[in-house]
Amino acid sequence: MHTIVVETANRFARDLVVQETGFHLLRQLGYDLIAADSPNAFLEDTPTAALVRQVLGAVSQFEKASLVAKLKGARDRKRRETGKCEGRKSHAEARPVAVALAKKLRRANPKTGSRLSLRRVSAVLAEAGHLNERGRPFAAYGVKAMVEG
């Protein structure tokens, strides 16, 4: 007989059906499942042990669903308040002065109709002291993200 030790029963599976199905499948394959916090929870196959296991699994499933709902609500509230919740900061949030300068440099010249290339805009930004987080001039796609974003 082989043994698998898990920290707690809810770390084995947070969904009650998955927990019970997994427990029975491991049992059929010849594995003993032991929860470190309650060593007899999976070893005994009595009606009382099954009840306790299922109740703990149901509580764990409820806690997970509750936490997921709370986190979603908090993300939605943050998006309503600020418009953004997740992800890294955009160039406009991190470097508003550089973005304004990049947009100004990239605009077409009204007299000639031509405009600076993305690489040339990057070079001018670097001359003005606007560098990326690694201290290098912005790549062309970084400048493109600034002027289009």
Beta strands 31-35 and 2-6 are parallel
Residue 32 predicted with pLDDT over 90 = no
Give tens-digit pLDDT for 35-54.
888 777 777 778 887 888 78
Q: Which domain-ending residue is among 82, 109, 137?
A: 82
Residue 98's pLDDT band, with cuts at 50, 70 and 90, is very high
DSSP-assigned beta bridge partners for residue 31: 2
Same domain for 59 and 98, yes or no, is no
Q: What is the DSSP letter of 38?
A: B
Q: Are residues 61 and 108 in the same domain?
A: no
Confidence band, pLDDT 50/70/90 cuts, at residue 24: confident
Q: Do 54 and 21 fall into the same domain?
A: yes
Total count of domains within the chain:
2
Structural domain that includes position 127: 91-148
Q: Could you tell me how far CA 75 lies from the centroid of its own chain? A: 12
13 and 72 share a domain?
Answer: yes
Q: What is the pLDDT of residue 22?
A: 87
If asked whether residues 8 and 77 sit together in one domain, one would say: yes
Residues 9 and 78 in one domain: yes
Q: Are residues 74 and 99 in the same domain?
A: no
Q: Are residues 64 and 99 in the same domain?
A: no
Give the mean model confidence (pLDDT) for residues 114-118.
90
